[in-house]
Each structure stands twice: as structure tokens, then as C-alpha cells.
Amino acid sequence: MDRLLVVEDDAAIGQALTTGLLAGGYDVRWARTGGSALELAVDEPVDLVVLDVGLPDLDGYEVCRELRRLRPQAVIVMLTARQEEMDVVTGLESGADDYLTKPFRLAELLARVRAHLRRAAADDSVPRTVVLGSLAVDVRGRIATVGGVDVVLRAREFDLLSRLAAGAGTAVSREDLMHDVWDENWFGSTKTLDVHMAALRRRLADAAATDPEAARHLPVIVTLRGFGYRLQTA
């Protein structure tokens, strides 16, 4: 059973979310503070976190960064009352995979949760490793290595890399990436894709930084202006 962690200090909202998600068939923990959420994430594996940005003890974005560090593969859905694009970008840069603005319907959250977890499970059913230069992407194990060394990627960064690797050498449109890596429910701007792509490039380059041989054979993600991207050998 998928394990969910709800981080919400508002008692009424927290109770409603917990009850709704339990009814949806998930194993749910509820933390009322950022501190207790991090303690839970240390103690137990978690597949998906529903994280309120406005918490009494810690900054929600900071909690997000720490959760991401503790559980790199977990999906993080942020909840916020704010709507400025700046906050969306801050959330994504903190490691969030998705974003819901309060007030929202429980059915909407459940749909997003199902879509995210279904995608994660589908990834597990594909027995395939793509090797390109010094990069190896184990799609099933959700492991990426450069020169044999693990690259720590966030869930959506790994999805992006998998999608590009699956079509290595061919152009993938922005629309296809948004559709395959996020889903049709995603309401955010295409900035989301740019932020994740920049992070992915940075992480791959960092992974190769100490190994000149790996760096020389690291594939590049080419930007195709007005279209999308192509992953190709250097």
C-alpha cells in the first residue's frame, strides 16, 4: 500500500485530507508541524507527501528541501494559499513535484495523487536500462549513474531523464515532455519544465565533475528552440 504523509497544521483541513486519503485506500500519516514531518520521514519510507507551505514551526519550502534530501524518490505535492508565480518557482526549486492552491476540492487532490503514484508504479514495470556514453539510466530501478556513480535526482527530474533517454537521439517536444512527465491536470506554466531541465543538467554535470573520462562521454541535452529537447552523445 502506498504510504502518504500529510503535513498540515490546520486541524480541520488536516483531518479532512487524512480522512479523504484513507478512504482513497492509502496508508496515511498526519504531521501537524514541519519538525514532526521530518522526524516521520526519517523513521519511515514515504511514497508521496502532501505539504502545506504555511507551517507554524518551519518554513514550508525549507521542509520541502529537507524532505527531498531525506526521500529523493518521494513525490511532493505542495499546498499553498498564494498564487504568485514566484512562489510556484520557489516551490519547484525546493523540490516539489506538483502544486495545489487552496481552496481545492478533495477530488482534485485525489486525482493528482493517483496520477503521480500510477506514474511511479508504471516506471517500475518497465525492465530497461538505457546506456548513452557515460550515462546509464535504469528505468525500472529508477537509478541514474554517470561513470558508474549514482546521480541523486528528484522524482520528476528522473522522469524527465527517463523520457529523454527512451528517445535518445530523437527530438522530444515540450508538449510531450509536459504530458508524459506531468499530466493533463498540471495547471502550472511551462517554467516548470525549464526549472526541472536546468536542475537535471546541473546534476548530471556535477556527477561528472570529478571524473574527466565520464565528463568527456557525458551525453548532452540539446535545446531545440521553439520545439523541445534532444538527449544525444557528446
16-25 b/e (C-beta count within 10 Å ≥ 16 → b): ebbebbeebe
Q: Which of 2, 47, 52, 157 binds Ca ion (CB under 5 A)?
A: 52
Question: Rounded to the nearest whole angstrom, what is the least distance from the CB of residue 79 to Ca ion in the complex?
Answer: 8
Cell of 178: 509536459
Euclidean distance between CA atoms 177 and 221, whole angstroms: 13
Question: Rounded to the nearest whole angstrom, what is the least distance from the CB of residue 106 to Ca ion in the complex?
Answer: 17
Q: Using CB atoms within 10 Å of the CB of residue 107, give its burial: 0 to 12 exposed, 13 to 18 middle, 19+ buried.
A: exposed
Query: Residue count at the site for Ca ion (CB under 5 A)?
Result: 3
Applying CB under 5 A, does 167 fall inside the site for Ca ion?
no
Q: Which is nearer to Ca ion, 91 or 228 (CB)?
A: 91
Q: Which of 16, 22, 36, 54 binds Ca ion (CB under 5 A)?
A: 54
Q: Which is nearer to Ca ion, 33 or 145 (CB)?
A: 33
Applying CB under 5 A, does 102 fall inside the site for Ca ion?
no
Applying CB under 5 A, does 9 fall inside the site for Ca ion?
yes
Torsion (CA) 173, 176, 180, 181 in degrees, nearest 10: 40
Q: Which is nearer to Ca ion, 39 or 59 (CB)?
A: 59
Q: Which is nearer to Ca ion, 109 or 135 (CB)?
A: 109
What residue ranges bind Ca ion (CB under 5 A)? 9, 52, 54
